Every structure is written in C-alpha cells, then in structure tokens.
Amino acid sequence: MAANRALRSSQVVNIEDLRQLAQRRLPKSVFDYLDGGAEAEVTLAENCRAFREVTFRPRGAVAIANCDLKTRVLGHELSFPAMLAPVGYSRLMHPGGEVAAARAAGLAGTGYILSTISGHKLEDVKAASQGPVWYQLYVLGGREAAEGALDRARRAGFSALVITVDTPVAGMRERDPRNGMKELLGTSLFARIPYVPNILAHPGWLASFLLDGGVPKLENIVLPGKGPMELIDVASALSKAVVTWEDLRWIRELWSGPIVVKGLLTGEDARRAVAEGAAAVIVSNHGGRQLDSVSPTLRALPEVVAAVNGQIEVLMDGGVRRGSDIVKAICLGARTVLVGRAYAYGLAAAGHAGVARSIEILRADVERTLRLLGCPSVAALDRSYVETPHVWSVR
C-alpha cells in the first residue's frame, strides 16, 4: 500500500509528516475531529507552543555507552516514557482502531489506554496487546452500563482505571458542526447529502469504512435491554455523564485496582485526588478540546508536581509531537507522558503500521535528545536540564 511505503521513506521523518498523510487519507470531517480543538483553539496551539518556551541546558563532553529509556508507571516497566492516550472514535480513523493501537503499544513495550468511546470490544483490545492496558471510563449510558464495563475490564485484565474529569459537557469543537459530523453519523440520508462529495473524494478511507461495516457501535457501553450504544448518542450522553468526587467513591467500590484521575490542571484538584485515593493523576486539558483558554499542560505541570509532593505519580499529556517534548515534561516532573494525536495521526494514515512508526519516531527522538543532553537515562532527568521562562514562576 502507498501509505505503508511512504511510512518507510524519507517522506515520514516526524509526526507532522504523519499528520499530513492522515489529512490526505481521511475525509475532512474525520480529520478535523481528530486534529481540531475547542472554540478558538487557543489551548490547542498553546499546548504545543509551551514546549518551545522551555529550553535545554545540555552537558557537553559526555560519552554515553548505553542510553536507558525505561521508566516505571504504576508498577509497570515501560520501555520508553510515553503511553498511548485514550482516543475516542479511533475505529472511524481506521478499521484497526483501538486493537491496532493497543497492539503497536504492546509491541513497543509501552502501555495503551482504551477510551470508553471504542468501536472494538474491550476484550479484543486487551488480547491484542502484550503490554499494560488501562480502561478510561465515561459514565455514558448510566451507572448500570458503567458497572458492566468495569466488570468486563477487570475480568479481561485491564490493570488500571482512568477517570476523565474534564468533560462535564462536550467542548465546542467548531470544526465538527461545520463539517456535518453529527449528520454524517446520523441515520438521515437526506441530512448527509451536503457532506457526501468530500467523503467520495477519499475513496481509500470510504472503502475501508464500508468493508468494516460502516459506523461502529460502542461495544463497551451496553445499555440494559438495548445492547451496545449507537455512536451518534455520545455528545448528548456526555452531558448526562459528569463525574464528581462523590462518584469516585462509588467507582472505588467497583474497582479495587489503581484509579488514575485524568484532566486536572491545578494543585488544589491534585491534592483532592490524593485525598480521594487516586494512585496517579494526569495533568491534561483533553488536548485543548474541552475548556478553551485553560493553561497549556506543560505550564500547569510544575504546580501539580509540587502539590502532590511525591505522594502519587504525576503523568501529563497535551501538545507532545516530538521526543524532545517528552524529555522536557519529564524534566519538569512527569513520570511519563501520554500521546494522543501523535499516534492517532499514524493510525489514521496507515493503521497498525502508522502507530508503530509514530512510536518509533518518538522513541528515536527521546534517545537522541538524551545523548545530546549528556544524560544517561530517563531516570536521571531533572530540572537542571531545562530552563523555563521567568514568567512561569510568577502567579
């Protein structure tokens, strides 16, 4: 296949190259769903820009024989310090979807977090990976549906539960209504008509989508008496699915393993998560897709790290497009980072092979960055290797 050939060629040297391949293969509605952010996309852009504001302080004349990229997260040893973030609707990007991404993560020796909004059964996703797999919970479809999913996840061997707390309603992603995302996922043929020409202009994607059976159902949200939830229901269902600190106690009764709170940006919320028994927090603004104009996550990270004070692990995501971004986040206190779009562009471009290429690019970047910094291991990274702008310390 052309995309797979391109992956190996000099055309794909960084994540932006994968993004462009994804843009070529996907209809505009699906690409913009993946690529876009909320409202004016201020936070989406700032997440990436924040990494540019942090500069390195390398140590010269250091020879490193073996560079150690390993890290430990919630007791799992990862071969390099990045995991794959939960990305809903992955099966719309490529039929392999969540299964392909989990498999690529496992083969690369790292972890995968499965979104509730998955088109593949959670059992199949777990079976595809030889690495750790965590389940990300939205209480979509009510408590009974969530209880069913958690029971299945526990039995399938998911090793941690991620609770996303930044989605009391879906963010206003302005590209989606313009592209007719709702109409395209709906059942009315008439409503779809204006958007059909762009879909037809992407025959490769269309053929794989149709061969895969069309719009997938949400296989892990099984509504009592009705079966798996339809994909179209998600936006309205999210506003009825807000998770509060009180819900965390109910979830704790159902899930005895580690619970990770995803979507915090302040020291206050991080301390609350510690008090509620979280095993880790993920500093995240949902990749700039929820509340626009919140701070970029790299900038929020030091405050959360200080507030948590070593009591639990701190992970972060948002704007990671290069291995040097991963290194910067670790220098500022993250145990590991999650990548969202960086691997989803690869998935959309070429399925499993695209995700594998994305991970390979990031891993090579991390190793090269460590060597250029004169630092022998991920474990040895600390603040002395970076400089942050002075304004970051003024609040």
Ligand X SMILES: Cc1cc2nc3c(=O)[nH]c(=O)nc-3n(C[C@H](O)[C@H](O)[C@H](O)COP(=O)(O)O)c2cc1C
Rule CB under 6 A: say whether 339 interacts with ligand X: yes
| Cβ atoms 87, 115 nearer than 8 A | yes
Rule CB under 6 A: say whether 319 interacts with ligand X: yes
Tell me which residues in 143-202 interact with ligand X (CB under 6 A): 164
Residue from 115, 77, 10 nearest 343 by CA: 115
Report the nearest approach of ligand X to the CB of residue 47 (Å): 6
| Cβ atoms 289, 44 nearer than 8 A | yes
Residue 208 is inside which H or E element, if any? helix 203-211
- How many CB atoms lie under 10 A from the CB of residue 327? 28
Q: What is the token pair recorded at 67?
A: 């560079």
Q: Give whole-number Cα distances, 274 to 160, 166, 259, 279, 393, in Å.
A: 16, 17, 11, 7, 24
Q: Work out which of 129, 136, 295, 336 binds ligand X, going by CB under 6 A.
A: 136
Report the nearest approach of ligand X to the CB of residue 89 (Å): 6
DSSP conformation class of 393: G
Rule CB under 6 A: say whether 103 interacts with ligand X: no
Q: Work out which of 31, 78, 82, 88 binds ligand X, going by CB under 6 A.
A: 88
Burial per residue of 253-288, b for 16 or more beta-carbon CB atoms within 10 angstroms, e otherwise:
eebeebbbbbbbbebebbbbbbeeebbbbbbbbbbb
202 catalytic per annotation: no
Rule CB under 6 A: say whether 317 interacts with ligand X: yes
Tell me which residues in 247-286 interact with ligand X (CB under 6 A): 262, 284, 286
Matching residue, tokens 């989508």: 209
Report the nearest approach of ligand X to the CB of residue 60 (Å): 32
Q: Which is nearer to ligand X, 38 or 305 (CB)?
A: 38
Report the nearest approach of ligand X to the CB of residue 308 (Å): 19
Q: Which is nearer to ligand X, 103 or 173 (CB)?
A: 173
- Active-site hit among 94, 120, 202, 286: 286
Report the nearest approach of ligand X to the CB of residue 62 (Å): 31
In angstroms, the CA 140 to CA 108 distance is 31
Rule CB under 6 A: say whether 302 interacts with ligand X: no
Q: Work out which of 47, 129, 295, 358 binds ligand X, going by CB under 6 A.
A: 47
| E strands, 230-369, in order | 259-264, 280-283, 313-317, 336-339
Rule CB under 6 A: say whether 323 interacts with ligand X: no
Report the nearest approach of ligand X to the CB of residue 128 (Å): 18
Nearest residue to ligand X on Cβ basis? 340
Rule CB under 6 A: say whether 85 interacts with ligand X: yes
- Interface residue list for ligand X (CB under 6 A): 33-34, 47, 85-88, 115, 117, 136, 164, 262, 284, 286-287, 289, 317-320, 339-342, 344
